[in-house]
A = this chain, B = another copy of it.
Amino acid sequence: MAKQTSVPASITSADVARLAGVSRATVSFVLNDTPGHRVSETTRVRVRDAARQLGYVPHAAARSLRAGRSNLVLMPASISAIGRLVSDWVDDLHSELDRHGYTAVLHAGRFADPLDAARAWAEMRPAAVVAMDGDRFGGRAAELLRRAGVRGLLAFAAQPVEGVHTVGFDHARIGATAAGHLIGRGRSRIGVVMPLERGLGTLAEPRLAGAESVAARHMATVTPLELAYSRESATALARRWRSLGLDAVFAYNDEYGALLLHALRAEGVSVPDEVAMVGCDDLVLSALQQPALTTVRLDLPSAARIADTVHELIETGTAPEVAPVEAVLVHRETS
Contacts and interface: CB of A to CB of B under 8 A. Distances in A.
Interface of A: 1-5, 7-11, 54-62, 64-65, 70, 74, 78-80, 82, 84, 87-88, 90-91, 94-95, 98, 103-110, 119-120, 122-125, 143-144, 146-149, 151, 153, 160-168, 198-199, 229-231, 258-259, 262-263, 266, 284-285, 287-290, 313, 317-319, 321, 324
Nearest to A233: B284
B103 A120 contact: yes
A124 B167 CA distance: 29
A108 B313 CA distance: 22
A94 B231 CA distance: 26
Given A3-B318, A79-B87, A287 B231 contact: yes
A54 to B, nearest CB: 8
Given A64-B61, A87-B80, A143-B8, A2 B108 contact: no
Nearest to A152: B4
Contacts of A65: 59, 61-62, 65
Contacts of A84: 80
Contacts of A319: 3-4
A2 to B, nearest CB: 4
A167 B80 contact: no
A231 B160 contact: no
Contact of A123 (B60, B91, B106, B258): B60
A319 B124 CA distance: 28
Given A258-B285, A263-B288, A1 B168 contact: yes
B1 A321 contact: yes
A184 B251 CA distance: 40
Given A4-B313, A60-B124, A103-B120, 9 more contacts: A8-B147, A55-B147, A57-B122, A59-B65, A61-B124, A94-B108, A103-B109, A103-B124, A104-B107
Nearest to A84: B80
A83 to B, nearest CB: 10
Contacts of A90: 79-80, 108
Contact of A167 (B1, B62, B64, B104): B1
B60 A144 contact: no
Contact of A284 (B94, B164, B259, B289): B259
